[in-house]
């Protein structure tokens, strides 16, 4: 149905309901943009009535716009969408907006999610709040498919397993081969678009060069190492302790007990001093592991016992999936740490590097990104300190191959420098992290 046919429908509504004349013209423009009825689907209708109308029009005009929407949709032969427009959900969302923008926005998000036409995040693709043209195309295709399945009765929002069905519909749409460009999929188009944006937004020419060099390796998911259990051995060891019947004992200060700490440093070579560690607080590797496992919701504490969560037990039995989880993590989740981890990873993919050279290479890139401290913009000294964060993290997972400096006996003069490279497992881990940065969803600040 063309834009001209929509115009005819508008005139028929105006003839029948002269009081809706201005409102129905506004609705037609808002729903179709002059492009015809093909622009109208349930998700678009809900965004229009539940989001744009209360934001863009005064409150005394909302009721008329809803009435005009119902009349126009009926005239266009879209009775199911007319029911959405006249539904209790529409009334409740607009009532929430009348109580304030914050309540209205929350009501919109809740009702839109409950309606079943909101495209869900899946293992194939998670959606961002900052999206490009291909992601817009993919999102609309999924929303239309979900709306069609609801209309057909296959997808019933709120019914048992309806969210799993919605995810299945979503992945089918995103992975279906396209006619144009031939052989591509919507998921592939979105990934390519995101990686292109990742390259273009680099603020330093060397950073852009490094991103470009690795881009093709990030177009598809990174497979785990040949022996993922070895790559995640420390976190598996911790989960095994916590998954044992009754969990594992903690001290009064909620640290792992001393015997467990000593066993860990002996097993993984985390201690270089003659006397053994006194507590978990002396072993940064253990605190880092526990923090990461807590962030991933693999552990929970009950009194003075540490237990594995259901998710932790599941991942303990699946080293591949456990590796996928930790490979996209960092020592902490600070934005600066994430940025440093990316740049250090990109540099290490270039090959073995002296430690001093590593700092010299990444510092200008981090400075160009505009990071600052309370005392002002970061310096080379800040970058030098920050470089150790990803190295500490990746050492836990057998990702780093280091050759210590050698020194002349008696004078301590350096004969050969300290050098750093990635192991074969480490290369996969770094690529998986970079893919999460390059091809993952992008968000506005505050959106998540």
pLDDT in tens, 332-345: 989 999 999 999 99
Instruction: Report the candidate in 381, 390, 384 with the shortest Cα–Cα distance to residue 345.
Output: 390
Tell me the percentage of the chain whose pLDDT exceeds 90: 89
Q: What are the contacts of 238-241 at 24+ separation with CB within 8 A?
A: 238/289, 238/290, 238/293, 238/299, 239/293, 239/298, 239/299, 239/308, 239/312, 239/313, 239/315, 239/316, 240/316, 241/306
Give 125's DSSP letter: -
Same domain? 358 vs 275: no
With respect to residue 206, please indicate whether it lies within any of the assigned structural domains: no
Instruction: Report the candidate in 41, 177, 56 with the shortest Cα–Cα distance to residue 118.
Output: 41
Same domain? 233 vs 173: no
Q: How many domains does the chain have?
A: 4
CATH number, residue 429: 1.10.10.10
Across 191-315, where does the E strand assignment appear? 248-249, 299-302, 305-308
Q: How confident is the model at residue 432 (pLDDT cuts 50, 70, 90)?
A: very high
Same domain? 312 vs 250: yes
Domain residues for the domain of 430 are: 335-438
Average pLDDT of the chain is 94
With respect to residue 19, please indicate whether it lies within any of the assigned structural domains: yes
Mean pLDDT value across residues 198-227: 96
Parallel, antiparallel or unpaired: strands 372-373 and 376-377 = antiparallel
Q: How confident is the model at residue 448 (pLDDT cuts 50, 70, 90)?
A: very low
Tell me the percentage of the chain whose pLDDT exceeds 70: 99
With respect to residue 214, please indicate whether it lies within any of the assigned structural domains: no
Q: Quick one: which H or E segment has residue 315?
A: helix 310-316
Distances from the Cα of 305 to the Cα of 243, 251, 265, 274, angstroms: 11, 9, 21, 30
Alpha helices per DSSP H over 116-224: 133-152, 162-175, 186-200, 205-214
Q: How many residues does the chain have?
A: 448
Same domain? 60 vs 163: no
CATH number, residue 235: 1.10.10
Indicate yes or no: pTM above 0.75. yes
Respond yes or no on whether the N-terminal peptide bond of residue 240 is cis (omega within 30° of 0).
no
**What's the token pair of residue 4?**
């001209």
Same domain? 392 vs 434: yes
Q: How far is it, in rounded angstroms, from Cα 257 to Cα 236? A: 18
Q: How confident is the model at residue 25 (pLDDT cuts 50, 70, 90)?
A: very high
């Amino acid at each position: 149905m063309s834009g001209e046919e929509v115009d005819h429908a508008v005139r028929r509504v105006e003839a029948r309901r002269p009081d809706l004349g201005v409102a129905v013209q506004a609705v037609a423009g808002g729903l179709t943009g002059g492009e015809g009825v093909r622009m109208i689907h349930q998700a678009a209708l809900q965004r229009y009535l539940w989001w744009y109308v209360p934001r863009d029009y005064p409150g005394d005009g909302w009721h008329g716009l809803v009435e005009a929407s119902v009349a126009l949709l009926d005239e266009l032969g879209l009775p199911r969408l007319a029911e959405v427009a006249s539904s209790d959900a529409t009334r409740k969302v607009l009532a929430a907006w009348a109580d304030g923008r914050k309540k209205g926005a929350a009501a919109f998000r809740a009702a839109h999610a409950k309606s079943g036409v909101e495209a869900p995040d899946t293992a194939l693709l998670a959606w961002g709040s900052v999206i490009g043209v291909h992601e817009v195309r993919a999102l609309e295709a999924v929303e239309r498919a979900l709306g069609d399945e609801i209309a057909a009765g296959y997808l019933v929002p709120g019914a048992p397993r309806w969210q799993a069905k919605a995810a299945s519909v979503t992945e089918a749409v995103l992975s279906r081969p396209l006619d144009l460009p031939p052989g591509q999929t919507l998921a592939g188009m979105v990934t390519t678009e995101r990686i292109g944006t990742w390259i273009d937004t680099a603020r330093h020419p060397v950073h852009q060069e490094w991103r470009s060099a690795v881009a093709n390796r990030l177009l598809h998911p990174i497979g785990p190492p040949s022996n993922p259990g070895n790559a995640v051995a420390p976190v598996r060891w911790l989960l095994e302790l916590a998954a044992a019947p009754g969990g594992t004992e903690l001290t009064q200060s909620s640290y792992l007990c001393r015997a467990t700490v000593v066993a860990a440093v002996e097993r993984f070579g985390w201690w270089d001093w003659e006397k053994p560690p006194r507590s978990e607080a002396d072993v940064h590797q253990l605190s880092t592991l526990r923090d990461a496992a807590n962030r991933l919701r693999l552990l929970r504490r009950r009194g003075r016992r540490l237990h594995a969560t259901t998710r932790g037990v599941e991942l303990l039995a699946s080293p591949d999936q456990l590796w996928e989880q930790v490979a996209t993590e960092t020592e902490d989740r600070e934005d600066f740490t994430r940025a440093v981890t990316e740049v250090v990873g990109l540099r290490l993919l270039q090959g073995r590097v002296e430690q001093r050279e590593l700092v010299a290479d990444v510092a200008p890139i981090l400075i160009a990104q505009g990071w600052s401290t309370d005392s002002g913009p970061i310096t080379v000294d800040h970058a030098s300190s920050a470089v150790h964060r990803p190295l500490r993290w990746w050492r836990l997972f057998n990702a780093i191959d280091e050759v210590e400096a050698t020194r002349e006996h008696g004078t301590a003069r350096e004969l050969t420098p300290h050098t750093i490279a990635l192991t074969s497992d480490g290369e996969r881990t770094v690529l998986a992290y970079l893919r999460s940065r390059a091809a993952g969803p992008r968000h506005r600040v505050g959106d998540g």
